[in-house]
Chains A and B, each alone.
Chain A
Amino acid sequence: MKPEPAAGFRFGFDRPLWLGLGVSAAVIVGGVALAFAVGRYPLTLTDVATILMRRLTGQASGLPQATEAIVLNIRGPRILAALLVGSALASAGTAFQGLFRNPLVSPDILGASSGAALGAVLGILLSLDVASIQILAFLGGLTAVTAVYVIGSLLRGGDGIVLLVLTGVVIGSLLGAGIGLVKTLADPYNQLPAITFWLLGSLAATTPADLVPLALPVLIGTVVLIGLRWKMNVMSLPDEEARALGIATGPIRCVIVAAATLITAASVSVAGIVGWVGLVTPHLARALVGPSFPRLLPTAALLGGAYLLLIDTLARSIAPVEVPLGVLTAVIGTPFFLGLLARSRGAW
């Protein structure tokens, strides 16, 4: 039996995990330095390092208070939030692409983002405070995916995975109609701009208080997903094949969906809807270390954080006003993705 002619493009199928983690970590370090340095208020990296080091040891930095406030209360939290949200969306996207056996899937396939969006715009319509809006968004995301999962499991006949995805699409468009309704009811001078801004995603309003409610669910969900990475290769096979290999697919699928939804809902509730990150960064990670989940998932988790951090730095520096994240990720994601489709030749 003759092997097919060697493929010209080997797209990193067998590079080791340390390489993926190393490259991602290097981009993160560079991205963090850049993000601290870029902005209207000039900061030197020495100042930043001094403030952070002194803060850790509990000493006063001796630098102007404004400088300290920018580092600790504005750019610092925003950098951490970008890393967390990017990492969360990338991990969820990677897990879902495997679970749904489709490399074109993103974390909102089961309605996590649209559910969170409906919760948030309702909160804005009701003029709630920021924390309540975030809680509503988080609960909206969880509720939407739970509904999709329960309804999808109740439907019988055909492939369970396909039914789940179709249910997600249907419920997602219903939620979209709900968002549309809220928009028409909203005050066009006050609430509508806030809703629009939220739906396009932004980290401009990140405060230190956002970090714990964001980090906690993201860390829990990510730890669960990374723990299951050894079984995710098998989970990306057709259901019967995976069961014949000894994997109880039902319970594991439920846990993966729950973990991915937790981190997606937490991210969306802080950053709004940031599309494309969960779709594009798994492919970048795949280009680095190949599709095998034990290598892919940890790499994607780091790389996603780096990616969103760079995008967010761009978002607040390329124009006199902040560019919504969702606009930038789409502008960058579209050509990237078309290029990917052109050269993939069916192998992911």
Chain B
Amino acid sequence: MLDVQRLAIGYGSHVIGRDLSFSLMEGRALALLGPNGSGKTTLLKTVLGLLPAKAGAVLLNGRRIDALPVAERARRIAYVPQVHAGTFGFLTRDVVMMGRAAHGGILSAPSACDHAVVDRVIDRLGLTHLSERPYTLISGGERQLVLFARALAQEAPFIVLDAPTANLDFANQGVVLRETWRLREAGYGILFTTHDPNHALRWADDTLMLRQGALLHHGASDAVLTGGHLSELYGIPVEELRTAGRRAFLPSS
């Protein structure tokens, strides 16, 4: 279990959020919703142990994440960053292999086991046809899936995704979110940020609303995601649509 207790987050001496408490079980998906600048990415990085906590603690199965060696941390919690083009045209397969970095010694070549894991996750995400292509020459949606595969190769029970649907077209957003949901069903604990409340409503068990570094609302997505709460979160009127037992939100004017 990932347990965040009264966490304060920030850069350097600058604290941008405090008193953040929530937890995430394996096999559950948690969406993090909030306006630009609300501290979502800072929170993710602190949860991952990439930024030091300003107060409070992040516990992974009872152990403080900042007390874990960096390699051990990577074997317990994986990170899918926002899609980037990358500098070098590594083969897709080489990119996925980077997920195995924490599993071998600093001087050791990938083992047969590492190759087997990489083959398996590439196959699982349907990326076999891309595996011998340069990462720089595939589409944004494909790159996002390659970064998914890299995180899966870490074989960590928790996966943190920073805006997995940002910069993707409509179809690819669906592909990526369905994949996220599949990972949840396979037993991974998923934490992702999004700018679309409809994504949280459909693809997350729980939703956390972050405004100016403070938790505004937190609970089951169905209950937390209401027009009223979203208006409060983003400071604009929000229209709620209902059809055939489903709900969706639109920013209204």
Contacts and interface: CB of A to CB of B under 8 A. Distances in A.
B87 A101 contact: yes
A290 B89 contact: yes
A1 B99 contact: no
A143 interface: no
Nearest to B126: A1
Interface string B86-127: 111111001001110111101111100000000000000000
Given A101-B87, A252-B106, A246 B70 contact: yes
Interface in A244-302: 244-248, 252, 290-292, 294
A230 interface: yes
A156 B136 CA distance: 32
Contacts of B91: 13-14, 290, 292
A141 interface: no
A3 B139 contact: yes
Nearest to A296: B88
Interface in B72-94: 72-75, 78-79, 81, 84-91, 94
A246 B99 CA distance: 9
Interface string B46-58: 0010100000000
A191 interface: no
A4 B130 CA distance: 11
Interface string A1-14: 11110010001011
B74 A246 contact: yes
Interface stretch (A33-41, A117-125, A234-242, A319-327): A234-242
Mostly, the A contact residues are loop
A7 B132 CA distance: 13
A247 B70 contact: yes
A233 B94 contact: yes
A348 interface: yes
B21 interface: no
A83 B60 CA distance: 52
A244 B78 CA distance: 7
A230 B102 CA distance: 12
Contact of A98 (B88, B101, B132): B88
Interface in B134-166: 134, 136-139, 141-142, 150, 154
A292 B98 contact: no
Nearest to B171: A1
A234 B106 contact: no
A291 to B, nearest CB: 4
Contact of B132 (A14, A230, A245): A14
A335 B98 CA distance: 35
Nearest to B147: A241
Contacts of B171: 1
B87 A3 contact: no
Contact of A233 (B81, B98, B172): B98
Nearest to B81: A241
A245 B12 contact: no
B88 A234 contact: no
Contacts, number: 115
Contacts of A1: 139, 141-142, 171-172, 175
A3 B130 contact: yes
Given A102-B87, A241-B81, A230 B107 contact: yes
Contact of A292 (B70, B71, B90, B103): B90
B98 to A, nearest CB: 5
B45 interface: yes
Contact of B106 (A228, A290, A294): A228
A266 to B, nearest CB: 23
B88 A236 contact: yes
A346 interface: yes
B141 A13 contact: no
A238 B98 CA distance: 13
Given A13-B134, A98-B88, A230-B108, A246 B102 contact: yes
A348 B87 contact: yes
A227 B87 CA distance: 22
Nearest to A245: B101
Nearest to B110: A230
Contacts of A62: none
A231 B101 contact: yes
A234 B101 contact: yes
Nearest to A1: B141
Contacts of A14: 91, 132
B145 to A, nearest CB: 8
A282 to B, nearest CB: 11
A2 B175 CA distance: 12
B88 A240 contact: no
Interface in A144-180: 156-157
B154 A245 contact: yes
Contacts of A231: 101, 106
A54 interface: no
Interface of A: 1-4, 7, 11, 13-14, 98, 101-103, 156-157, 227-228, 230-231, 233-234, 236-238, 240-241, 243-248, 252, 290-292, 294, 346-348
6 contacts: A1-B141, A1-B175, A237-B98, A246-B101, A248-B69, A348-B88
Minimum-distance CB pairs A-B, first 10: A246-B102, A246-B74, A244-B79, A291-B88, A246-B71, A347-B136, A347-B89, A1-B141, A292-B94, A101-B87
